[in-house]
A and B are shown apart, each in its own frame.
Chain A
Amino acid sequence: MAKAKRPLSPHLQVYRWGAHMAVSILHRATGSALAVGSILLAWWLVAMATGHDYFNTVQGYAGSALGRIVLFGLTFALMQHLASGIRHLYMDAGKLYDLKVNTLSAKATFVVSIVLTIVIWVAAYKVMGVL
């Protein structure tokens, strides 16, 4: 296939990084991470349907240090994908194309996702009675 030296359109590395670019790339990355998370959710549901002992084993993995790091990462991925996804829906409706507003909304997705991730984990620890 395409071995001839045809002119190529410029790729990612030639552009100066900006918030809009980071958010766009991160949207795909978080989406892929969440796909892996969906396997974990399926595993967890299977464990719940299997019974008491196996559920406790899987809950033990989830509650381990590594498990909590993975779940924290997935929480951020879900919140970032959600915030960035809502921004994309606005853009699909023809909004947020003004350069300043576009960059500002891209930055806002980070603020929203980081705040929501922290709120979710603080709330979960409060429910567990740890905090």
Chain B
Amino acid sequence: MTDYKTPLAKVRGLGSAKDGTHHWFTHRITALANIPLVIFFVVSFVGNAGKGHDEWVAWLKQPLVSVLMILFVANFTHHMRLGLQVLIEDYVHTPGTKMFSLIMVNFACILIAAISIFSVLRIAFGG
């Protein structure tokens, strides 16, 4: 097949969306970071199963736990945003609906992250 790409376009490797492999690669890196964070999350939840409000708050107030929880939320919502975007790009083909869904999914993921992280901070710094 004839290659019409200029040498500069080839070396930049950014493709028609001018984004290169950034989306794909970030999805993999957030997946990798999710592995230890999910283990932390699951082990913590099993360890605190059946506990009351005071105990849960005392657990989340620990600096390391607060930081890990914020990292977990930030990382998985980023991973989720990238993943849901691919689903829409693959399955929604009506141009208007596609753009609308993409924007809404991006907003929703960031909103979930903001609400969750704010709650962790409120507990961490609360009296």
List residues of chain A with CB within 8 A of the CB of B77.
Answer: 38
List residues of chain B with CB within 8 A of the CB of A52.
Answer: 53-54
| Total number of B residues with any Cβ neighbor in A under 8 Å | 38
Q: Is B76 a contact partner of A1 (Cβ separation < 8 A)?
A: no
B68 at the interface (CB under 8 A from A): no
* Cβ proximity bits A21-50 to B, threshold 8 Å, 1 near / 0 not: 000000010011011001101100110110
Q: Closest residue to A41 on the B side, CB-wise?
A: B116
Q: Is A55 a contact partner of B119 (Cβ separation < 8 A)?
A: no
Q: Of residues 97 to 127 in B, which have CB atoms within 8 Å of A's CB atoms?
A: 112, 115-116, 118-120, 122-123, 126
List residues of chain B with CB within 8 A of the CB of A128.
Answer: 49-50
Q: Of residues 80 to 109 in B, which have CB atoms within 8 Å of A's CB atoms?
A: 80, 83-84, 87, 93-95
- With A48-B60, A78-B42, A82-B35: A89-B28 Cβ-Cβ less than 8 Å: yes
Q: Is A32 a contact partner of B87 (Cβ separation < 8 A)?
A: yes
A98 at the interface (CB under 8 A from B): no
A41 to B77, CA, bound (A): 11
Interface of B, secondary structure class, is helix
**Partner pick for B80 among A1, A34, A88, A123, CB 8 A cutoff:** A34
List residues of chain A with CB within 8 A of the CB of B14.
Answer: none
Band of interface residues on A:
35 or more
B9 at the interface (CB under 8 A from A): no
A55 to B46, CA, bound (A): 18
A120 at the interface (CB under 8 A from B): yes
A104 to B60, CA, bound (A): 40
Q: Is B53 a contact partner of A28 (Cβ separation < 8 A)?
A: no
Q: List A residues at the B interface (Cβ < 8 Å).
A: 1-2, 28, 31-32, 34-35, 38-39, 41-42, 45-46, 48-49, 51-52, 55-56, 59, 75, 78, 82, 85-86, 88-89, 92, 120, 123-125, 127-129
Q: List B residues at the A interface (Cβ < 8 Å).
A: 28, 31-32, 34-35, 38, 42, 45-50, 52-54, 56-57, 60, 73, 76-77, 80, 83-84, 87, 93-95, 112, 115-116, 118-120, 122-123, 126
